[in-house]
């Protein structure tokens, strides 16, 4: 299982939101590329980057910063936020980004998502963000009545590389991953799932490890890394079986 540090971009800086609320943002770094290099030094093998401003605007707002992160670290990077046109997908992938995350588009423009999966096999990740099992879009500012599982099932034949399932009510709150909902998504869709939202400490990593052979392939950690509640090195060791002596 891979542990992926999260870097959320707002106004050129690295922030964390509480439950997706743009009015409850805490700044953790003024230079995201430097922070990304720190995560690399601590063992990160992949980075999760979200353009928060882009998610609201509907188009990228941090392309230059993201290019810098890719160039400075050399790590595989997955990027989401404001990717709603094929040109944006192409630009990101050509700049060295390994995967694009399509969230709002999965609900509002499914044909675009399907075309992206066809044109760039293995490089499109579905981002399904939900509150109470219902999908939220546009930087989580708009709630819908669509079931998270139902939305994901529409893209089975398109073979996305993975699906990031975020429980918004837990995101940035360090209250623990919604293990049951994450597992249900993996089993219902058969798409490899990356857990997101609520990681509070090493216990969450330990709870997710047994689910790896059931389709949960990774976990995104954000606020817990920034507050020190979770050590990235310890989390990676745990995920690799080091702390369990295997």
- How many domains are contained in the chain? 1
Residues 47, 69 contacting (CB under 8 angstroms): yes
Q: In the structure, what pLDDT confidence band is assigned to residue 173 with cuts at 50, 70 and 90?
A: low
36-39, long-range: CB < 8 A, 24+ apart: 36/7, 36/69, 36/72, 36/73, 36/75, 37/72, 37/73, 39/5, 39/7, 39/73, 39/225, 39/232
The answer to whether residue 35 sits within a structural domain is yes
Q: What pTM was computed for the model?
A: 0.91
The answer to whether residue 129 sits within a structural domain is yes
The answer to whether residue 245 sits within a structural domain is no
11: left (phi over 0), alpha (psi -120 to 50) or beta: left
Output the domain CATH number for residue 95.
3.20.20.70
The answer to whether residue 218 sits within a structural domain is yes
Over the stretch 137-150, which tens digit does the pLDDT of each residue have? 665 556 777 889 99
The answer to whether residue 184 sits within a structural domain is yes
The answer to whether residue 208 sits within a structural domain is yes
For the segment 27-37, the average pLDDT, to the nearest whole number, is 96
Residues labelled catalytic? 8, 129
Task: Give percent of the chain above pLDDT 90.
Answer: 75
The answer to whether residue 244 sits within a structural domain is no
Cα 140 to Cα 8: distance, rounded to the nearest angstrom: 14
The answer to whether residue 210 sits within a structural domain is yes
Count other C-beta atoms under 10 Å from residue 44's C-beta: 25
Which tokens in the block code for residue 164?
A: 């990031």
Residue the block writes with tokens 């400490």 = 201
Mean pLDDT of the chain: 91
> Domain limits at 127?
2-239
Over the stretch 49-108, which tens digit does the pLDDT of each residue have? 999 999 999 999 999 999 999 999 999 999 999 999 999 999 999 999 999 999 878 888
Which tokens in the block code for residue 246?
A: 């295997």
């Amino acid at each position: 299982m891979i542990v992926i540090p999260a870097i959320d971009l707002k106004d050129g800086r690295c922030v964390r939101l509480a439950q997706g609320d743009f009015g409850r943002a805490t700044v953790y770094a003024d230079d995201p590329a430097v922070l990304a290099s720190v995560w690399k030094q601590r063992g990160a093998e992949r980075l999760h980057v979200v353009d928060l401003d882009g998610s609201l605007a509907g188009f990228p707002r941090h392309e230059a910063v993201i290019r810098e992160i890719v160039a400075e670290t050399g790590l595989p990077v997955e990027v989401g936020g404001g990717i709603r046109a094929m040109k944006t997908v192409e630009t990101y992938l050509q700049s060295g980004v390994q995967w694009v995350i399509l969230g709002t588009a999965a609900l509002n423009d499914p044909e675009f998502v399907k075309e992206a999966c066809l044109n760039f096999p293995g490089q499109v990740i579905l981002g399904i963000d939900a509150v109470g099992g219902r999908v939220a879009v546009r930087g989580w500012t708009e709630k819908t009545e669509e079931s998270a599982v139902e939305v994901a099932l529409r893209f089975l034949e398109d073979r996305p590389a993975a699906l990031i399932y975020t429980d918004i009510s837990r995101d940035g709150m360090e209250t623990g991953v919604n293990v049951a909902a994450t597992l249900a998504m993996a089993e219902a869709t058969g798409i490899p799932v990356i857990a997101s939202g609520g990681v509070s400490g090493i216990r969450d990593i330990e709870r997710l490890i047994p689910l790896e052979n059931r389709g949960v392939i990774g976990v995104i950690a954000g606020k817990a890394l920034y507050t020190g509640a979770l050590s990235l090195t310890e989390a990676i060791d745990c995920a690799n079986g080091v702390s369990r002596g295997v």
